Amino acid sequence: MRIPSLLFFFILTSFVARAQTGTIKGQIKTAAGTPAEYINIILKGTGKGTVTSSTGEFEFNALADGTYQLIGTGVGIKRIDQTVSLKSGEIVNLELTAAESAEELQTLEILGRKETTYKNDLSFIASKTATPIKEVPQAISYITKEVMRDQGTFLMGDAVKNMSGVNQFTFYDDLTIRGFRMNGGSTTQLVNGLRTFSGFWKQPPVNYLERVEVIKGAASALYGNTSPGGTINRVTKKPLDTPQKSLSFTTGSYNTLRMLADFTGPMNEKKTLLYRLNVGYNNAQSFRNLQFDKNIIVAPSVSFLPTEKTRINFDMVYNRSNSRLDRGQSVKGNDLYSSSIKTSLNAVNDYLNEETYLITTSLNHQFTQYTSFNIAYLRTGYTEDLLEHRSSNVNAVDSAGAPIQNLVARQVFVRKTKSFMDNVSLFFNHNFNTGIAEHKLVAGYDYIQSSTPKGSGQQTANGYLLKAGGAAAYNAKQPERFVFYNYTENGVTRSIPKPNISHYDLTLQNNNLEDPTKYTYNVVTNASTTPVMYQLHGLYLQEQLKINRLQILLGLRYDTYIDKKNYTKNDETNVTQHALLPRIGAVYTLTNNVNIYGTYTKGYNPQDAVVQSDPLSGGPFDPIRSSLAEAGLKTEWLDGRLTANASFYQIVQTNTLYSANAVDNPNLMQQIGEEKAKGVEFDVTGNILPNWNLIVAYSYNDAKITDAGSRAADQVLVNLQKPNAPKNQGSIWTKYTFVNAGLNGLGLGLGSNYVGERNLSINNAQIVPAYTLLNAAIYYKIDKFQFQVNLNNVTNKTYWVGGYDYLRLFPGTPRNFLATIAYTF
């Protein structure tokens, strides 16, 4: 009888234990009193989660007694955070209200982001609605201002190194995304979702940005002609309704001096008028000879909220920059280490003075709870004043026309130019339900106009001096036309033609004060000075359909692109192109933590209007066409603090232009038949613990030329990896802040960046090697003060971020440090 007694005892114990478990259930309603369905509900720390039913109800059973943290999240509502105490056998019934979230309901990003972590939950760029990133059927990478602050970042190139699949092409505002080049001068960048451009020569500063984000793959269905690799969106800091002020001072390597200020808050008691002001001053030299960069940035923003349904915003960014234009390092032959990475070909009196402004006005008005109207206007202006001594992209030659590796031929540009862009974007959002289906409808129109007006100009001095006066490219078959002198190298004297511009001697490193008035100039019309005007009209329609766990995105855009050929001349004519751009995507929620998605979209890009207008380019050229197929996972962990995403993609592009690298005509281009990039990307972002931040990114990208066109000479290009497109690339950054009493306020940061080897050109086998960098930081916070030291390239690695060839290499910065003191009040 002993065994049955024990069995009876265990059965009874189990029954009693079950009887003593409790239940938490309830109903969530909107502010209007209607049931709030599909709200995600979790009990923090238990692994239990559910979704509200069509009546807004939820229930958790078999809970032990104790205190629980109930969290509710959903689109368009503020996070629900409810503490529940549960006794044994008790049933707790909750009545909760889902309050509308202005941040999620706004369809233009007008109000500031209040989060202060590495993680960002919402995206406006991918669908022109405030959609959680995990519900967007396309890969999106982003870097928040908190990451940029912790890494001591000031320029865009240092921000995007944390993103998978994004790599520098040069020093400039010039990147590859998934192997496809995208640069600031190509007018395919966005600021707050509106089209803009940069001066190309300088990376934009980031002190006035809330975050930098990239929608991977073509975004043409919403924004017209964009790069098939991805589109960068710079989101400016917006006003907050709570007062915040911060000042920071930074000094460090290369005589860096940086002062930043950020002020925000309400301007009246009702908090209907908000402001934000970012001011920056940066003055730094470089490890590169003669290089420096001085910037003054003023970025005010004002938000006016006259009613709960109307929001108006004004943004301006003004940046004045004084520097020299750095065309890169030159080396002897194919020996990357034959000259110092400090080598630049400038003269002491070179200069590059730039002025850029961006002015944005936007309005969001909600007619009803379901319908809103949005209009935004961005005006971009750019002015350039330049004098530069630079490489002619070839070595000097002797009387027989043979190259002399110690000498780099130089040329001089004197240029003044202005460029402008206008972008008007207006669209309607309408949300409605049909049975169990939820709909988000977007219909809109874009107008874009870009111009380089008449009044710009350039003079170029190059070539070799003629006996009869003037200068010309050297012709070894007619040496009697040229002036010669003797040059001695390694004890050997050679007769060489006398250059119009003195050669740069890699042995002597001759950075001199030059007299530009002594050169023989050619007045030219080229890519920087040809008057150019193009216009773009775009109509688009998008539907986001949600049925239970399935979400479908359907988009269609019709573009009319007008290039004004021979702009400002009597024979000015319109060259018109049309494009129909579909987009389809789907997201399926497998669990509360895991979404899977797939997407297909088409893109196009008319060839650069300047290249098309250049009689030396070999054009006209057909427009670029592309397609994207992508699938992946988007997941959230640790109660939503950490995201881990993976994407698998294939991009096909036709009609890409590359330089033909013709010595006698540097403007000559060649059009490649087809390129294909396929790969995989992983991104992890967020907080392992509230005091432990983490970013991890990795990409494998097989980006090759698959069809070189009809010319037999170009067939050697097939299966060649695209320029400055590493196959493997990865990064990690983590910051840990101590919270125990003895070390409270102390923080440590550690990170690494890896970039695989890259081809520099499609026309030769020149490559730059892979590199791995190690970066570190230490932080100490006392009350409202924070002290921060960043040490970059700890091992002092010699590396190159990109380049065009071995006469135009772009080396990375050696070991350097930045020390910052910040005060927040």
CB–CB of 698/733 below 8 Å?
no
The region, left, alpha or beta by phi > 0 then psi within -120 to 50, assigned to residue 126 is: alpha
Predicted confidence (pLDDT) per residue in 46-60, tens digit? 878 888 888 889 999
Predicted confidence (pLDDT) per residue in 480-519, tens digit? 999 999 998 888 899 999 999 999 999 988 999 999 999 9
Q: What is the DSSP string of 428-461?
A: EEEEEEETTEEEEEEEEEEEEEEEE-BTBEEEEE
Torsion over CA: 340, 344, 349, 351 (sign):
negative
Amino acid at 15: F
The least confident of 196-205, 347-356, 581-590 is 196-205
* 160 vs 813: CA distance, rounded Å: 16
CB–CB of 124/693 below 8 Å?
no
* 98 vs 84: CA distance, rounded Å: 17
Amino acid at 177: I
Instruction: Choose between 9 and 296: higher pLDDT.
Output: 296
Predicted confidence (pLDDT) per residue in 302-349, tens digit? 999 998 889 999 999 999 999 999 999 999 999 999 999 999 999 999
Asked if residue 10 has pLDDT above 50, the reply is no
Predicted confidence (pLDDT) per residue in 415-424, tens digit? 999 999 999 9
Torsion over CA: 291, 201, 147, 595 (sign):
negative
* 809 vs 319: CA distance, rounded Å: 27
* 793 vs 797: CA distance, rounded Å: 6
CB–CB of 586/543 below 8 Å?
no
Asked if residue 114 has pLDDT above 70, the reply is no
β-bridge mates for residue 450, sequence order: 421, 534
- Closest Cα partner for 218 from 633, 724, 677, 637? 677
Q: H or E element: which one contains 158?
A: helix 156-160
Asked if residue 378 has pLDDT above 90, the reply is yes
β-bridge mates for residue 440, sequence order: 431, 544
* 560 vs 173: CA distance, rounded Å: 28
CB–CB of 149/779 below 8 Å?
no
SS3 618: coil
* 530 vs 230: CA distance, rounded Å: 28
Residue tagged 């699949």 (tokens):
165
Asked if residue 12 has pLDDT above 50, the reply is no
Provide, rounded to the nearest whole percent, the portion of the chain with pLDDT above 70: 91
Domains of the chain, with CATH numbers? 2-99 (2.60.40.10), 103-235 (2.170.130.10), 236-460+524-824 (2.40.170.20)
Q: H or E element: which one contains 150?
A: helix 145-150
Asked if residue 15 has pLDDT above 60, the reply is no
Distances (CA, A) of 697 to 142, 488, 671, 782: 11, 51, 33, 32
| Structure tokens belonging to residue 206 | 């980031």
Distances (CA, A) of 578 to 225, 528, 610: 11, 26, 19
* 127 vs 698: CA distance, rounded Å: 25
Predicted confidence (pLDDT) per residue in 244-294, tens digit? 999 999 999 999 999 999 999 999 999 999 999 999 999 999 999 999 999
* 744 vs 736: CA distance, rounded Å: 11
SS3 319: strand
CB–CB of 761/661 below 8 Å?
yes
- Closest Cα partner for 798 from 810, 789, 785, 781? 810
CB–CB of 257/284 below 8 Å?
yes
pLDDT tier, 815 (very low <50, low <70, confident <90, very high otherwise) = very high
* 72 vs 79: CA distance, rounded Å: 6
- Closest Cα partner for 533 from 485, 572, 559, 480? 572
Q: What is the mean pLDDT of residues 179-208?
A: 85
Task: Please tell me the total number of residues recorded for the chain in this structure.
Answer: 825
Asked if residue 721 has pLDDT above 60, the reply is yes
Q: What is the DSSP string of 512-548?
A: ----GGGSPPEEE--TTTS-EEEEEEEEEEEEEEEET
- pLDDT value at position 16? 45
* 520 vs 500: CA distance, rounded Å: 7
- Closest Cα partner for 285 from 259, 252, 330? 252
* 499 vs 520: CA distance, rounded Å: 10
φ, ψ of residue 782 to 5 degrees: the values are -125, 110
The least confident of 142-151, 187-196, 552-561 is 187-196
| Structure tokens belonging to residue 391 | 């490489």
- Closest Cα partner for 658 from 608, 615, 729, 700? 608
Predicted confidence (pLDDT) per residue in 724-764, tens digit? 999 999 999 999 999 888 899 999 999 999 999 999 987 66
| Structure tokens belonging to residue 647 | 């994407």
The least confident of 118-122, 153-157, 463-467 is 118-122
pLDDT tier, 81 (very low <50, low <70, confident <90, very high otherwise) = confident
Asked if residue 76 has pLDDT above 60, the reply is no
Asked if residue 715 has pLDDT above 50, the reply is yes
| Structure tokens belonging to residue 469 | 């006066």
- pLDDT value at position 17? 44
SS3 480: helix
Asked if residue 430 has pLDDT above 60, the reply is yes
pLDDT tier, 74 (very low <50, low <70, confident <90, very high otherwise) = low
SS3 571: coil
- How many CB atoms within 10 Å of residue 28? 23
- pLDDT value at position 436? 86
CB–CB of 387/351 below 8 Å?
yes
CB–CB of 637/644 below 8 Å?
yes
Q: What is the mean pLDDT of residues 603-629?
A: 77
For 154-243, strand residue ranges (E) read: 166-168, 174-177, 180-183, 189-191, 194-196, 209-216, 230-236
pLDDT tier, 101 (very low <50, low <70, confident <90, very high otherwise) = low
What is the residue-averaged pLDDT of the chain? Answer: 89
* 746 vs 736: CA distance, rounded Å: 9
Predicted confidence (pLDDT) per residue in 767-813, tens digit? 999 999 999 999 999 999 999 999 999 999 999 999 999 999 999 99
- pLDDT value at position 523? 67
SS3 148: helix
- Closest Cα partner for 34 from 20, 59, 4, 55? 55
Provide, rounded to the nearest whole percent, the portion of the chain with pLDDT above 90: 67
- pLDDT value at position 655? 83
The least confident of 8-12, 71-75, 121-125, 821-825 is 8-12
Q: What is the mean pLDDT of residues 576-597?
A: 94
**β 189-191/230-236 pair status:** parallel
